[in-house]
């Protein structure tokens, strides 16, 4: 497989129409006579799931002109082959709102949510825009500000991110407070339901033409190597990786992308943080870069997490394999989307869409 740095198409949305539709929607949210306008509408280069729109809303408030920099997270259109089979924007909005209210974990302010698809074609929510730097979704350890940072700065970013994860897992009574995050699939534990939910996600990939024997082998491997005791259930971010964090001075200013939030063991997020970096190390190798081999190492992350929380990190072979399986599902769906948009030809072997194929095969 080869890697490139081209911008992947994620949406067929017309931005001009979106600007007008957003302004019309804001007119119904703001006081009469506000005459809102949407300016500086832009789409960031990162992200492969929900559509993200940066914009500034300007409106009249009495005799004064007001302006606010905002971000819209918009469920993707079905024609654009979304990464996930469904998008629950109200659910994601409520997670951000509650995390902001109940913890010191930094998140954007949740401003508005719109479940009606009429204004923009799909549901969406609005949050405040937070300034800072976000590691690139593809090449952060091949080039860019994080790679060029000093080892001390990289360590500060790593440790402060793990600290934010530990703080998130400390939310009391998560199964009651965040009961709406319990996955609907059958299972006698949160981990059983979590993995069953991922299996349903894979079934969605199959429906798109993405049947993959390696992923199916992975799920069988999980069933045969199930943890004897998954431990307590916590609020799980789900997509815990540095690409989903806005940083200021190498510390989190906002945790983003809560589409995969759920309930489950602590190790789900720990393995995603570590395993996600391992995936990007694989991508760095495709670019001919050594990457950042000393960053987000399991032994370092686990030692800090254990010291900070008192929880002994365990069964990481299982959880890292589970992480790798989910990444494989992502790569299959994104690869099929690239084929649909004419960005690449369909390979003879679907496994060639999976960037982390080699590491996953070794795990199994």
139-165: pLDDT as tens digits: 899 889 999 999 999 999 999 999 999
Q: Residue 46 — very low, low, confident or very high, per pLDDT cuts 50/70/90?
A: low
The predicted structure's pLDDT at residue 304: 98
Establish if 1 belongs to a structural domain. Answer: no
Residue 16 tokens read as: 């001009």
The predicted structure's pLDDT at residue 204: 95
Question: Helix axis angle, 213-224 relative to 316-340, nearest 10°?
Answer: 160
Residues with catalytic function:
239
What is the number of domains present in the chain? 2
Dump pLDDT digits (tens) for 4-37: 444 344 456 788 899 999 999 999 999 998 999 9
The average pLDDT across 307-319 equals 97
The average pLDDT across 187-208 equals 97
- Using the predicted structure, report yes or no on whether residue 252 has a pLDDT greater than 90: yes
Q: Residue 47 — very low, low, confident or very high, per pLDDT cuts 50/70/90?
A: low
Establish if 163 belongs to a structural domain. Answer: yes
Q: Are residues 274 and 170 in the same domain?
A: yes
Rounded Cα distance, 316 and 321, in Å: 8
Give the domain-ending residue among 93, 128, 163: 128
The predicted structure's pLDDT at residue 2: 38
Rounded Cα distance, 222 and 227, in Å: 9
Backbone angles phi, psi at 2, to 5 degrees: -110, 160
Q: Residue 195 — very low, low, confident or very high, per pLDDT cuts 50/70/90?
A: very high
Q: How far is CA 286 from the centre of its chain?
A: 23
Q: Are residues 103 and 49 in the same domain?
A: yes
The predicted structure's pLDDT at residue 8: 40
Q: Are residues 40 and 157 in the same domain?
A: no
Q: Are residues 171 and 294 in the same domain?
A: yes
Rounded Cα distance, 50 and 44, in Å: 12
In whole numbers, what is the pLDDT of the chain averaged over residues?
92
Report the percent of the chain where pLDDT is more than 70. 95
Q: Are residues 223 and 248 in the same domain?
A: yes
The predicted structure's pLDDT at residue 20: 94
Residue 257 tokens read as: 């992308």
Q: Are residues 119 and 149 in the same domain?
A: no
- Using the predicted structure, report yes or no on whether residue 320 has a pLDDT greater than 50: yes
Establish if 8 belongs to a structural domain. Answer: no
Dump pLDDT digits (tens) for 65-86: 999 999 999 998 888 888 999 8
The predicted structure's pLDDT at residue 5: 40
Q: Are residues 61 and 24 in the same domain?
A: yes
Contact 337, 312 (CB under 8 A): no
Kindly compute the dihedral angle of the four CA atoms of residues 341, 342, 345, 349, in this order, to the nearest 10 degrees: 0
Pairing of strands 245-248, 64-74: unpaired
The parent domain of residue 352 ranges over 145-363
Dump pLDDT digits (tens) for 228-246: 999 999 999 999 999 999 9
Q: Are residues 101 and 181 in the same domain?
A: no
Establish if 331 belongs to a structural domain. Answer: yes
Establish if 136 belongs to a structural domain. Answer: no
Q: Are residues 160 and 221 in the same domain?
A: yes
Kindly compute the dihedral angle of the four CA atoms of residues 297, 302, 308, 314, in this order, to the nearest 10 degrees: 170
Contact 323, 272 (CB under 8 A): yes
- Using the predicted structure, report yes or no on whether residue 1 has a pLDDT greater than 70: no
Residue 350 tokens read as: 């679907």
The CATH number of residue 232's host domain is 3.90.1200.10
Q: Which of 26-35, 100-109, 186-195, 266-275 has the lowest mean pLDDT?
A: 26-35
Q: Which of 120, 123, 121, 124 shows the shortest CA–CA distance to 110?
A: 124
Q: Residue 49 — very low, low, confident or very high, per pLDDT cuts 50/70/90?
A: low
Dump pLDDT digits (tens) for 118-131: 999 999 999 999 99
- Using the predicted structure, report yes or no on whether residue 184 has a pLDDT greater than 50: yes
The CATH number of residue 63's host domain is 3.30.200.20
């Amino acid at each position: 497989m080869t890697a490139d740095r081209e911008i992947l198409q994620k949406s067929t949305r017309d931005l001009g129409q979106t600007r007008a539709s957003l302004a019309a929607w804001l007119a119904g949210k703001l006081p009469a006579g506000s005459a809102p306008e949407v300016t500086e509408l832009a789409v960031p280069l990162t992200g492969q799931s929900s559509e993200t729109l940066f914009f500034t809303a300007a409106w009249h408030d009495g005799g004064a002109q007001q302006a606010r920099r905002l971000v819209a997270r918009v469920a993707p259109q079905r024609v654009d082959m979304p990464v996930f089979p469904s998008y629950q924007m109200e659910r994601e909005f409520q997670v951000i709102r509650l995390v902001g209210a109940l913890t010191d974990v930094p998140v954007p302010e949740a401003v508005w949510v719109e479940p009606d698809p009429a204004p923009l074609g799909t549901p969406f929510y609005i949050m405040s825009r937070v300034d800072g730097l976000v590691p690139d979704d593809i090449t952060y350890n091949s080039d860019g500000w994080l790679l060029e940072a000093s080892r001390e700065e990289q360590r500060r970013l790593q440790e402060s991110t793990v600290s934010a994860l530990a703080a998130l897992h400390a939310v009391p009574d998560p199964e009651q407070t965040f009961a709406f995050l319990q996955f609907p699939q059958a299972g006698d534990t949160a981990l059983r339901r979590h993995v069953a939910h991922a299996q349903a996600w894979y079934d969605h990939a199959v429906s798109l033409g993405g049947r993959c024997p390696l992923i199916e082998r992975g799920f069988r491997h999980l069933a045969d190597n199930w943890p004897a005791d998954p431990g307590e259930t916590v609020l799980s971010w789900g997509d815990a990786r540095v690409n989903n964090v806005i940083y200021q001075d190498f510390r989190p200013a906002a945790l983003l992308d809560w589409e995969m939030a759920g309930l489950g063991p602590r190790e789900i997020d720990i393995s995603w943080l570590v395993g996600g970096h391992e995936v990007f190390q694989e991508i760095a190798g495709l670019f001919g870069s050594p990457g950042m081999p000393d960053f987000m190492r399991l032994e370092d992350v686990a030692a800090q997490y254990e010291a900070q929380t008192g929880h002994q990190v365990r069964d990481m072979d299982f959880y890292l394999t589970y992480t790798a399986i989910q990444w494989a599902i992502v790569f299959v769906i994104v690869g099929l989307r690239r084929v649909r948009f004419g960005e690449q030809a369909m390979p003879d072997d679907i496994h060639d869409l999976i960037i982390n194929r080699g590491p996953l095969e070794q795990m199994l």
